[in-house]
């Protein structure tokens, strides 16, 4: 009996000790984190099933790699918090060990959300720390679905014709994604989202790799650079101080990974401090000179384009004015360079406004196109040389897109920017397309402002300065730029790189909508780049136009100063009021297929209407078969399609698509 009593007592002690070393964090409907105070590891489960195991966190201090598992003592505390997204509890695990900086992991759980946010901090009050990398979460993902798991590569920017990629985990050993990553099953859409919800200091990469036991290893790397992703050719900048924090990383499992990405974008937007003025007008519609005219820009040609848009094109049903936007080479209208005579440019802007339209201009504020012309050129509106303001990187300077990066924190860069913006404002421009912004986010060996240590900090300085100079007087449109970090500074962002008239251009543009639609929650409007009709077939013209509409706004690109079929195509499309209703709210369509380079089916459900866009990128005709469940409709109801091109009504189900074509329908229930 004594032995039995001793065994029972020992078992109770073991169980009590085990329970004392395990902390449960309950969140959402049936979500849980189990944190092991003894090992410094954690696991995440949903409805009793573990989906992330062996989780831990890592931080660098100089050359030393620290991780939550190597510490000896850990303390747990919990408190409430409130931010711009919501309220909840933060669960704090502080690990200590003699001779090591303190290591803190903070789990933020919101009172009404089925996901969590994790942040890591190192601190040492007795001596300074230096860090350029954290890994808030590293662990093994467990999924039981027989449907192959896919991993999404999301680019850092839209430069160099980069594309999104969705790959089966069977087809790669290792994959990186910028800022946010998604792993999902195409058939049931179940998925997992890992992503940085802060971009003001750090660049983040999500690494996916396969383990030998067929589980998937996931790492969220805060302080990530890679030449083919972030464009950097050197390590991430380092922060210094007694306290250094990672970016916050969202971690979640979702029944539909598309909802997860929408949630990620909405959460990120809520935490961003918006600098650009609030947009209260209708969805922008514009013409831009880069589509066809490009370097052949001239005053006379621009007047002809303006006359066509003002006199020959039917008014938009929503009543807004069209922007006539000058792209690169508008300086051909100047005399004496950027510090010279802007008379002709002002004359153009005045003429556009006299015709009831709005003038727009272009500027790439953080690049030097003339870097091959010498180091000693004086920077306009300053006493500096261009060599002074070039961004200094590990191997000299950062050259990309035939342009050299300028340090956004340098007074010379800012004085040059202030000159150009002030001149454009004096001319009366009401829109500006800003370009090659990724050059401002490059890591540097030393910024002019010694307080700035990372590329994203420099980007924020440059963009804040730009917006201050604009002073709320223009619609701000970003072309090449970081995908997420640009949101606080602009109204409109182009989702891909230059696209022109062919069905291949349409497919390329819609790759970015297929996997980047969620940015519609970050920006007032997304744009599919200039729509060029030129001499492409009628079906390709319609497809190109629809690709822009379903992205959220429209920018035309043909040279309307020259005679061509594009005039009649444009007149016809502008005269069709039904088509324009799809951009009333300026929001994008949602992809239905997410296992191909570009989806062929996109849907949009609005309070009053539902729409569907179908695309055939092939050289031959095809029949597309649709189901109500596929596009989130009631499978017990009856529907028909109304073609917005000609008003034709067709039964819901199978749609015949001509080669290289697109159809845009409203969905009517009966």
**Could you tell me if 429 and 360 are in contact, meaning their C-beta atoms sit under 8 angstroms apart?**
yes
Q: Tell the CATH topology of 285-578.
A: TIM Barrel (3.20.20)
Q: What integer is the mean pLDDT of 124-147?
A: 91
Is 12's pLDDT higher than 80? no
Return the pLDDT at 14.
Answer: 34
- Mean pLDDT within 280-303: 97
pLDDT confidence of residue 146: 66
State residue 16's pLDDT score: 34
* Stretch(es) of the chain classified as CATH 2.60.40.1180: 601-669
pLDDT of residue 3: 53
Whether residue 145 has pLDDT greater than 90: no
Split at pLDDT 50, 70, 90, the class of 9 is very low
Digit-coded pLDDT (tens) for 55-103: 999 999 999 999 999 999 999 999 999 999 999 999 999 999 999 999 9
Intervals of CATH 2.70.98.60 along the chain: 18-271
The pLDDT value given to residue 120: 98
pLDDT band at 453 (very low <50, low <70, confident <90, very high): very high
18-271: CATH number: 2.70.98.60
**CATH 3.20.20.70 in the chain, residue ranges:** 285-578
Position 143 scores a pLDDT of 85
Q: In this structure, what DSSP letter does residue 521 have?
A: G
pLDDT of residue 147: 76
Q: Quick check: helix, strand or coil at residue 298?
A: coil
Please give the Cα distance from 176 to 184 (Å, whole number). 15
Distance in angstroms (rounded) separating the CA atoms of residues 107 and 88: 10
Q: According to the model, what pLDDT value does residue 18 have?
A: 38
* Contact between residue 443 and residue 398 where contact means Cβ atoms under 8 Å apart: no
Q: What is the mean pLDDT of residues 299-327?
A: 95
Measured over the CA atoms of residue 203, residue 209, residue 211 and residue 215, the dihedral's sign is positive
- In the predicted model, is pLDDT for residue 489 greater than 70? yes
Tokens of 362: 């272009």
- For 1, other C-beta atoms within 10 Å of its C-beta total 5
- Residue 10 pLDDT more than 70? no
Task: Specify the range with the lowest mean pLDDT, choosing from 106-110, 117-121, 621-625, 629-633.
Answer: 629-633
For 167-196, the pLDDT digits (tens) are 999 898 899 999 999 999 999 999 999 999
Measured in degrees and rounded to the nearest 5, phi and psi for residue 425 equal -65, -40
Joined tokens for residue 370: 């003339």
pLDDT of 396 > 70? The answer is yes
Q: What is the pLDDT confidence band of residue 318, given thresholds at 50, 70 and 90? A: confident
Residue 20: its pLDDT value, please? Answer: 62
| Cα–Cα distance, 280 to 260 (Å, whole number) | 28
Q: Give the residue-averaged pLDDT of 115-129.
A: 95
Q: What is the pLDDT of residues 564-574, one digit of tens each?
A: 999 999 999 99
Q: Which residues contact 11 (CB under 8 A, 6 or more apart)?
A: none
Reported confidence tier of residue 281, pLDDT bands at 50, 70, 90? very high
CATH classification (class only), 601-669:
mainly beta
SS3 (DSSP) at 502: coil
Task: For residue 422, give Cα distances in angstroms to 281, 331, 414.
Answer: 24, 15, 12
For residue 623, the model assigns a pLDDT of 97
The confidence score (pLDDT) of residue 11 equals 37
223 vs 635, residue with greater confidence: 223
């Amino acid at each position: 009996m004594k032995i039995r009593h001793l065994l029972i007592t020992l078992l109770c002690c073991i169980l009590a000790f085990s329970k004392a070393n395990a902390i449960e964090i309950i969140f959402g409907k049936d979500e849980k984190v189990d944190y092991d105070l003894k090992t410094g590891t954690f696991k995440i489960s949903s409805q009793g099933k573990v989906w992330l195991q062996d989780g831990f966190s890592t931080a660098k201090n100089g050359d030393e790699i620290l991780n939550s598992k190597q510490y000896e003592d850990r303390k747990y505390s919990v408190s409430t918090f409130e931010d711009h997204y919501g309220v909840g509890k933060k669960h704090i695990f502080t690990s200590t060990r003699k001779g090591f900086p303190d290591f803190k992991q903070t789990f933020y759980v919101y009172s009404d959300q089925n996901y969590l946010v994790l942040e890591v901090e190192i601190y040492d009050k007795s001596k300074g720390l230096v860090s350029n990398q954290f890994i808030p979460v590293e662990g093994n993902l467990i999924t039981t679905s027989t449907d192959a798991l896919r991993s999404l590569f999301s680019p850092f920017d839209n430069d160099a014709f980069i594309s999104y990629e969705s790959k089966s985990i069977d087809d790669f050993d290792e994959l990186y994604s910028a800022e946010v990553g998604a792993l999902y099953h195409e058939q049931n859409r179940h998925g997992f989202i890992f992503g940085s919800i802060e971009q003001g200091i750090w660049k983040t990469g999500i690494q996916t790799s396969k383990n030998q036991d067929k589980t998937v290893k996931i790492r969220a790397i805060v302080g990530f650079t890679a030449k083919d992703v972030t464009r950097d050719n050197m390590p991430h900048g380092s922060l210094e101080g007694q306290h250094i924090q990672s970016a916050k990383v969202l971690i979640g499992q979702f029944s539909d990974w598309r909802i997860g990405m929408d949630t990620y974008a909405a959460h990120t937007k809520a935490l961003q401090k918006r600098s650009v003025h609030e947009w209260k007008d209708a969805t922008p519609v514009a013409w831009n000179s880069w589509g066809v005219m490009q370097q052949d820009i001239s005053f006379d040609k621009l007047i002809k384009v303006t006359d066509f848009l003002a006199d020959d094109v039917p008014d938009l049903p929503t009543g807004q004015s069209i922007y006539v936007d000058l792209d690169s080479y508008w300086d051909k209208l100047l005399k004496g360079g950027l510090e010279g005579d802007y008379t002709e440019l002002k004359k153009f802007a005045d003429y556009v406004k006299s015709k009831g339209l709005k003038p727009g201009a272009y500027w790439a504020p953080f690049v030097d196109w003339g870097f091959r012309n010498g180091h000693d050129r004086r920077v306009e509106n300053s006493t500096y040389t261009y060599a002074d303001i070039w961004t200094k990187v590990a191997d000299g300077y950062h050259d990309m897109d035939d342009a050299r990066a300028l340090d956004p924190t340098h007074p010379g860069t800012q004085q040059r920017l202030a000159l150009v913006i002030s001149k454009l404002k004096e001319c009366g421009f009401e829109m500006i397309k800003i370009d090659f912004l990724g050059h401002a986010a490059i890591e540097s060996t030393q910024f002019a402002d010694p307080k700035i240590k990372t590329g994203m900090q420099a980007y924020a300085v440059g963009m804040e300065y730009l917006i201050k100079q604009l002073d709320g007087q223009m619609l701000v449109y970003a072309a090449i730029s970081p995908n997420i970090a640009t949101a606080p500074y602009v109204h409109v962002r182009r989702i891909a790189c230059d696209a022109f008239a062919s069905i291949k251009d349409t497919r390329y543009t819609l790759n970015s909508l297929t996997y980047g639609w969620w940015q519609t929650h970050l920006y007032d409007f997304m744009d599919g780049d200039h729509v060029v009709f030129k001499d492409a077939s009628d079906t390709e013209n319609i497809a190109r136009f629809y690709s822009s509409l379903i992205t959220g706004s429209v920018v035309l690109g043909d040279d309307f100063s020259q005679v061509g079929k594009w005039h009649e195509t444009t007149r016809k499309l502008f005269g069709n009021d039904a088509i324009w209703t799809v951009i009333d709210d300026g929001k994008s369509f949602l992809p239905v297929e997410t296992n191909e380079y570009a989806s062929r089916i996109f849907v949009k459900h609005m309070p009053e209407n539902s729409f569907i866009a179908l695309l055939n990128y092939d050289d031959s005709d095809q029949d597309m078969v649709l189901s109500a469940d596929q596009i989130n409709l009631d499978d017990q109801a009856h529907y028909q399609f109304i073609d917005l091109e000609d008003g034709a009504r067709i039964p819901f189900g199978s749609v015949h698509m001509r080669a290289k074509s697109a159809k845009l329908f409203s969905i009517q229930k009966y």
